[in-house]
Amino acid sequence: MAVYTHLGAEDMAALIAEFDVGTLVSAKGIAEGVSNSNWLIETTGQDGRGARFILTMYEFRIDIGELPYFLSLLDHLAAQGCPVPRTIHSRDGRLYLERPNAAGELKALALIEYLPGVSVSEPTAAQARAVGQSLAQMHEAAASFRGVRANGMGVAEWRRLADACGVDGLAEISPELARIVAENLPRLEHDWPAGLPASVIHADLFPDNVLMLGSTVTGLIDFYFACNDTTAYDVAVTHAAWCFDASGTSFRPDLSQALLEGYRDRRPLSAAELAALPRLAQGAAMRFAMSRAYDWLNTPADALVTKKDPMAFARRLEFYRDHPEVFGPEVFAA
Stretch that binds a second copy, among 24-32, 60-68, 69-77, 250-258 (CB under 8 A): 24-32
**DSSP-derived 3-state class of residue 162:** helix
Kindly identify the residues of this chain, within the stretch 95-154, that bind a second copy according to CB under 8 A. Answer: 116-122
Write the binding mask 189 to 218 for a second copy: x where contact by CB under 8 A, - elsewhere.
----------------------xxx-----
- Give me the torsion for CA of 239, 244, 250, 253, rounded to 10°: -60
Q: Which of 47, 92, 168, 302 binds a second copy (CB under 8 A)?
A: 302
Q: Which of 26, 35, 216, 298 binds a second copy (CB under 8 A)?
A: 26
In whole angstroms, how close is the CB of 102 to a second copy at the nearest point?
10
87-88 and 51-58 strand pairing: unpaired
In whole angstroms, how close is the CB of 265 to a second copy at the nearest point?
24
DSSP state of 324: G
The whole-angstrom separation of Cα 264 and Cα 262 is 5
# of chain residues touching a second copy (CB under 8 A): 34
Residue closest to 288 by CA, chosen among 208, 210, 191, 228:
208
DSSP state of 268: P
Comparison of 54 and 165: residue with beta carbon closer to a second copy = 54
Residue type, 82: C
Residue closest to 5 by CA, chosen among 91, 94, 109:
109
The answer to whether residues 88 and 111 touch, using CB atoms and an 8 Å cutoff, is: yes
Kindly identify the residues of this chain, within the stretch 1-20, that bind a second copy according to CB under 8 A. Answer: 1-3, 8-13
Comparison of 64 and 305: residue with beta carbon closer to a second copy = 305
Instruction: Using CB under 8 A, list all residues that contact a second copy.
Output: 1-3, 8-13, 24-32, 40, 42, 116-122, 211-213, 301-304
